[in-house]
Amino acid sequence: MVHLLIKHGAKINTCMKDGASPLFIASQNGHLRAVQTLLSHGAVVDQRRLDGATPLWIAAQMNHAAIARLLLKVGAAVDNIRRDGATPLFKACHKGHVDVVEELLKYKPCLSLLPNGESALHAASLFGHLNIVKLLLHSGADPKLKNSDGATPKELAVESKHKLVAEYLYQTLLKK
């Protein structure tokens, strides 16, 4: 269907009122073939919605790892920040999307504090995603980093009653 629309003159970078492009919508809904087709016909990979979200950001939020992989491969910026200060990595860590986090980490995203005052490790710790906490620490995230409220990832895990995450972070801090 996408091929047919393009063949008949559809403009692939035209956006909806909220700024969502066809590539954004295909990425959001997990339509890998449509994403491939749009990219091969010149879709702008980092075209932002009005809130600053990009196709990679929405693929990360929706747990579409194959689409995230493709977007990164064709040059999507790994650290594009949405207006609220969240990156694709932050959102994937918040949601617990391990496969997406693994793809993003291959492209060396920012592991320090973001404009929203948090880091990806803070998000993973707050929501109890132990596998992601381990991936982030292995990739160099700082377990001592304090967010804008002065809390460490371990403190957030304790406050949120994520005992396994808190224990893992505690053991990591003992080794440092």
- 55-114 pLDDT per residue, tens: 999 999 999 999 999 999 999 999 999 999 999 999 999 999 999 999 999 999 999 999
Same domain as 122, residue 74: no
Place of tokens 């954004």: 24
Residues 120, 98: one domain? no
pLDDT in tens, 13-39: 888 899 999 999 999 999 999 999 999
The rounded distance, in Å, linking the Cα atoms of 121 and 93 is 7
Residues 53, 78, single domain; the answer is: yes
The answer on 95 and 53 residing in a single domain is: yes
Query: Can you read off the two tokens belonging to residue 159?
Result: 């406050």
CATH of the domain at 149: 1.25.40.20
Spatial contact of 60 and 104, defined as CB atoms under 8 Å apart: yes
- The domain boundary, picked from 75, 94, 110, lies at 110
Give residue 62's domain range.
1-110
> Can you list the positions of beta strands (E) in the chain?
none
Q: Are residues 85 and 131 in the same domain?
A: no
93, 110, 127 — which closes off a domain? 110
**The model's pTM:** 0.94
- Write down which residue in 92, 110, 128 finishes a domain: 110
Domain shared by 81 and 102, yes or no: yes
Q: For the chain, what is the domain count?
A: 2
Question: In terms of domains, do 27 and 92 share one?
Answer: yes
